[in-house]
């Protein structure tokens, strides 16, 4: 999605929300959107569908998630640097030479930037039930953020991380393990519809002083099969969330399981079962403004084909601010950063997420 298209979409979403009067003030959603392009083709782990909506009422959530993803094996970097010590793209010859020089190693190269814009509408039903529809639109290759991230790393002293040896704006996913291989060095950029999902949520009770809700979701193969837009298969997922509320703070816990269908793939290779966990803390900064800190820990989408770092679970830290107007409109801004230590797997280096929520009559 070009900056102009992104701005147009965000403007349309904001106008729709402003034209729909809110029934009452509500908090901004927790765990909205999916800021990871590698987990996007499979049913994403989100909590927005589980949050309660009054019977007969509607909730509309508009989310735009942007990411910059840069991860690589040092073996590939060493081979490429020795042959092309300038800004030249990664090639199939680089990969073949690395596999020959380091046989049996788990190798990977991930270079992605893009955005995911999605609309989630929820209808409240009697008995605390609700049903949600999620429609995602993905744009791989834009917005162009490689140059911004390079400058940020240079200013903060994080180092170039070999970004200066490769062209900006590339879209690559390469994973080679003992149980499978992905080598997508072209054809990943572009925009299109993702996999649409439907979820049904229900209350699970009130234990240990908290409130629990769960949901069951199914994702349909509406995106292009075997790409970063879709899997080509039907996915099923179950999630449970708990919230403890105090006067000015909240503690949230979440867990989930996703069963991808055997007919679907991730860039042409089989997918394994996924599990997810989340911990969040929210604190009030004022009457209508809140700060949030969320950590998600999820099984790698490549665990079925490779080990090593690329096959290990990933930890992503997300922190942001939300503000709710007197009309009940919620605006949120969230930043994300992966945490890599002790073999923790791959997640985007940097994420940015914008959230708009309203309750139309």
Confidence (pTM): 0.85
Tell me the pLDDT band of 311, cut-offs 50, 70 and 90: very high
The SS3 of residue 336 is strand
Q: pLDDT, tens digit, for every residue of 325-343?
A: 888 899 999 999 998 765 6
Closest CA to 29 of 320, 240, 277, 246: 320
Helix residue spans in the chain (DSSP H): 3-19, 74-83, 92-101, 146-156, 308-311
Cβ atoms of residues 170 and 184 within 8 Å: no
Cβ atoms of residues 355 and 32 within 8 Å: yes
Q: Residue 88: its pLDDT value, please?
A: 75
Non-local (6+) Cβ contacts of 256 within 8 A are 45, 237, 238, 239, 240, 275, 276, 277
| Lowest-confidence pick of 76-80, 117-121, 249-253 | 76-80
Q: Residue 6: its pLDDT value, please?
A: 43
């Amino acid at each position: 999605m070009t900056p102009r298209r992104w701005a147009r979409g965000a403007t349309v979403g904001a106008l729709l929300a402003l034209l729909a009067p809110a029934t009452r003030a509500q908090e901004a959603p927790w765990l909205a959107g999916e800021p990871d392009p590698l987990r996007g083709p499979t049913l994403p782990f989100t909590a927005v569908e589980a949050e309660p909506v009054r019977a007969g009422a509607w909730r509309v959530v508009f989310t735009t998630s942007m990411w910059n993803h840069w991860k690589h094996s040092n073996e590939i970097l060493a081979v490429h640097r020795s042959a092309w010590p300038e800004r030249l793209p990664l090639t199939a010859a680089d990969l073949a030479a690395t596999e020959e020089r380091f046989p049996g190693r788990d190798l990977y190269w991930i270079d992605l930037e893009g955005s995911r814009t999605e609309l989630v509408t929820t209808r409240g039903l009697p008995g605390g039930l609700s049903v949600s529809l999620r429609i995602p639109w993905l744009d791989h290759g834009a917005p162009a953020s490689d140059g911004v991230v390079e400058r940020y790393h240079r200013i903060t002293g994080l180092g170039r991380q070999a970004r200066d040896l490769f062209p900006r704006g590339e879209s690559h996913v390469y994973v080679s393990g003992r149980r499978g291989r992905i080598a997508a060095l072209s054809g990943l950029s572009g925009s299109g519809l993702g996999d649409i999902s439907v979820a049904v949520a229900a209350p699970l009770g009130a234990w240990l002083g908290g409130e629990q809700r769960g949901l069951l979701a199914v994702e349909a193969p509406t995106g292009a099969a075997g790409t970063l837009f879709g899997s080509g298969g039907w996915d099923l997922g179950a999630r449970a969330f708990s919230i403890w509320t105090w006067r000015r703070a909240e503690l949230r816990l979440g867990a989930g399981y996703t069963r991808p269908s055997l007919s679907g793939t991730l860039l042409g290779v089989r997918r394994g079962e996924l599990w997810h966990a989340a911990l969040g803390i929210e604190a009030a900064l004022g009457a209508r403004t809140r700060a949030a800190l969320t950590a998600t820990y999820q099984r790698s989408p490549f665990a079925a084909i490779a080990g090593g770092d690329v096959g290990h679970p990933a930890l992503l830290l997300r922190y942001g601010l939300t503000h709710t107007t007197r009309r009940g409109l919620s605006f949120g801004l969230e930043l994300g950063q992966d945490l890599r230590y002790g073999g923790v797997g791959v997640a985007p280096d940097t994420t940015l997420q914008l959230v708009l929520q309203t309750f139309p009559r």
